Amino acid sequence: MRIISWNVNGVRATTGKLKNGEKKGGPTNNVITTLVEEQKPDVLCFQEVKTQSEGDLACFKPLFKHIYCNFAKHKKGYSGVALLTNVEPTWVTYGFDEYPEEYIGDYANKEFHHEGRIISAGFENYIVVTVYSPNAQPELARIETRIEWEQVLRMYLKQLEEDHALPVILCGDLNCAIHDMDIYNPKMKKKTPGCSVEERDEFQLMFDAGFTDSFRHLHPDIQKYSYWSNFRNARERNMGWRIDYMLVSDTIKDKIAEADCLTDYYGSDHCPILLALQ
Closest CA to 158 of 212, 104, 112: 104
Residue range 176-193: average pLDDT?
91
In Å, how far from its chain's centre is CA 47? 6
Judged against a pLDDT cut of 60, whether residue 103 lies above it is answered with: no
Residue range 211-229: average pLDDT?
97
Active-site entry in 56, 126, 173, 227? 173
- What's residue 100's pLDDT? 60
Q: In this structure, what CATH number is given to the domain that contains residue 28?
A: 3.60.10.10
pLDDT band of residue 113 (cuts 50, 70, 90) is confident
Residue range 234-250: average pLDDT?
97
Judged against a pLDDT cut of 80, whether residue 230 lies above it is answered with: yes
Please write the tens of the pLDDT for every residue from 257-272.
999 999 999 999 999 9
Active-site entry in 107, 126, 132, 156? 132
Q: How many domains does the chain have?
A: 1
> Rg (Cα) of the chain, in Å, rounded?
17
Residue range 175-203: average pLDDT?
93
- What's residue 8's pLDDT? 98
Query: Which residues, at least 6 apart from 260, have a Cβ–Cβ distance to it below 8 Å?
Result: 215, 224, 273, 274
Q: Does the annotation mark 94 as catalytic?
A: no
Please write the tens of the pLDDT for every residue from 13-46.
999 999 999 999 999 999 999 999 999 999 999 9
Angstrom CA distances, 271 to 172, 189, 265, 274, stand at: 11, 25, 6, 10
Angstrom CA distances, 197 to 117, 143, 201, 219, stand at: 23, 11, 6, 24
Judged against a pLDDT cut of 80, whether residue 97 lies above it is answered with: no
- What's residue 96's pLDDT? 83
Pairwise CA distance, residues 36 & 114, whole Å: 30
Backbone angle region of 210, left / alpha / beta, with phi > 0 → left and psi within -120 to 50 → alpha: left
Q: Does the annotation mark 132 as catalytic?
A: yes
Judged against a pLDDT cut of 90, whether residue 73 lies above it is answered with: no
Pairwise CA distance, residues 95 & 119, whole Å: 6
Judged against a pLDDT cut of 80, whether residue 108 lies above it is answered with: no
Angstrom CA distances, 218 to 45, 130, 138, 213, 245, stand at: 21, 21, 33, 9, 13
Q: Is the pTM of this model over 0.85?
A: yes
- What's residue 54's pLDDT? 85
- What's residue 53's pLDDT? 83
Please write the tens of the pLDDT for every residue from 119-174.
999 999 999 999 999 999 999 999 999 999 999 999 999 999 999 999 999 999 99
Domain enclosing residue 181, as ranges: 2-277
